[in-house]
Structure 1
């Protein structure tokens, strides 16, 4: 047994809620996060995320911006008005990279920003930054 596998067994599981309307992106993201040792709950858009989040009790949300029904900006804004989610880390994972979109996400309450396609190591570093 390696020290890394022992470390995974002794730590408390961290749950991440991923929100993306693309089934393939949800699959890629879940695979990367599970490989990093996280528990993953998935939602397909902002409405689904709001319906899922209380039961999932995530430590972190990773959301896309462009989604049907409720986009990432709306999801972040709706989470931030709830006391329970006011300080929870929220990372935006999107193909968008404009400064205007980043500023809008920050204004809504996003904690960080990752551009798709994501690099698993950069994703892991961003998660560590906001959780620790």
Structure 2
């Protein structure tokens, strides 16, 4: 089972994302801040991360995860509210693998992650 971490300051976003992604077969952990997420990553690196662009330390989190041993193998989705090129390029420069538009719902998460959970 693949491990996925949701790093987002919103309790509701984390709770909804965790419910949907758990149903898709992921082992989901949550982090309310970049600092908490990095601390968890240092103990056990997830296979996939969803990092909210709205967190103050989102870009630092991405670059710090990339600097960890095996950190380059993590698929990091930078979660943006709108497809704003400047924000997306900053995420890409920090090391984001891909982007996810927010707010997401069951359909978007299923389309993005539905066929990837089991292939660990």
**TM-score bracket for the superposition, by shorter chain length:** 0.7 to 0.9
More helix by percentage: 1
Give the aligned CA root-mean-square deviation in angstroms.
2.0
1:34-65 deviation per Cα after TM superposition (whole angstroms, max 9, x unaligned)? 12111101110110001111334311111101
How many angstroms does 1:100 deviate by?
A: 0.8
Establish whether residue 88 from structure 1 lines up as the match of residue 105 from structure 2.
no
1:50-87 deviation per Cα after TM superposition (whole angstroms, max 9, x unaligned)? 1111334311111101224xx21111111112232022
**Candidates 34, 53, 59, aligned match of 1:46:** 34
Greater gyration radius: 1
Counterparts in 2 of 1:129 and 1:63: CA distance versus 1, 3 Å: farther
Counterparts in 2 of 1:130 and 1:78: CA distance versus 1, 3 Å: farther
How many residues end up aligned between the 2 structures? 118
Q: Structure 1 residues 16-25 or 73-82, which shifts more?
A: 73-82
8 Å CA contact 1:41–1:56 kept in 2: the answer is no
Stretches of structure 2 lacking an aligned partner (at least 5 in a row): none
Cα distance in 2, alignment partners of residues 54 and 82 from structure 1:
7
Q: TM-score, normalised by structure 1?
A: 0.79
Cα distance in 2, alignment partners of residues 83 and 55 from structure 1:
11
Counterparts in 2 of 1:65 and 1:128: CA distance versus 1, 3 Å: same
